[in-house]
């Protein structure tokens, strides 16, 4: 599955999809960066849309939130893939994310593989 500009710029509401399992409280975070992670050097979105990425990350950090991996968003991900926090964001800004800090504190973080 390839990622397009339209996928990346999907409605902001799609980026706010739940990354926690309602029944268990587990917070899903990718176990590694997806192949098209915006935090990977050389990612084309870093050069074609640097202000969009910068603003998205700054907003997430300012709000104590997170960035959901674009390859796990409904409509972009395979049907059996649930939304998860971007590994690149977690590695870089995880200490600023309430979901990641709380999940780590209470033992409810669940690493999931990136979609194939």
**114 — phi, psi (to 5°)?**
-65, 155
Confidence of residue 23 (pLDDT cuts 50, 70, 90): very high
- Cα 35 to the chain's mean position, in Å? 13
d(CA 57, CA 42) in angstroms, rounded, equals 18
**What are 12's two structure tokens?**
């902001």
User: Does the pLDDT value for residue 38 go beyond 70?
Assistant: yes
Q: Name the more confident of 101 and 10.
A: 101
**What are 8's two structure tokens?**
């990346």
Rounded to two decimals, what is the model's pTM?
Answer: 0.84
Look at residue 93 in the predicted model and tell me its pLDDT.
Answer: 96
**What are 92's two structure tokens?**
């870089």
> Each residue of 44-100: pLDDT tens digit?
888 788 898 999 999 999 999 999 999 999 988 999 999 999 999 999 999 999 999
**What are 83's two structure tokens?**
């939304």
């Amino acid at each position: 599955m390839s990622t397009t500009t339209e996928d990346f710029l999907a409605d902001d509401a799609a980026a706010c999809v739940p990354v926690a399992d309602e029944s268990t409280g587990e917070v899903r975070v990718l176990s590694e960066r997806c192949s098209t992670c915006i935090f990977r050097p050389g990612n084309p979105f870093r050069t074609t849309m640097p202000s969009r990425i910068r603003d998205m990350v700054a907003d997430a950090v300012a709000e104590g939130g997170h960035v959901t991996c674009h390859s796990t968003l409904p409509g972009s991900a395979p049907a059996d893939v649930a939304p998860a926090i971007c590994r690149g964001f977690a590695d870089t800004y995880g200490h600023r994310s309430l979901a990641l800090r709380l999940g780590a504190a209470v033992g409810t973080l669940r690493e999931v593989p990136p979609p194939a």
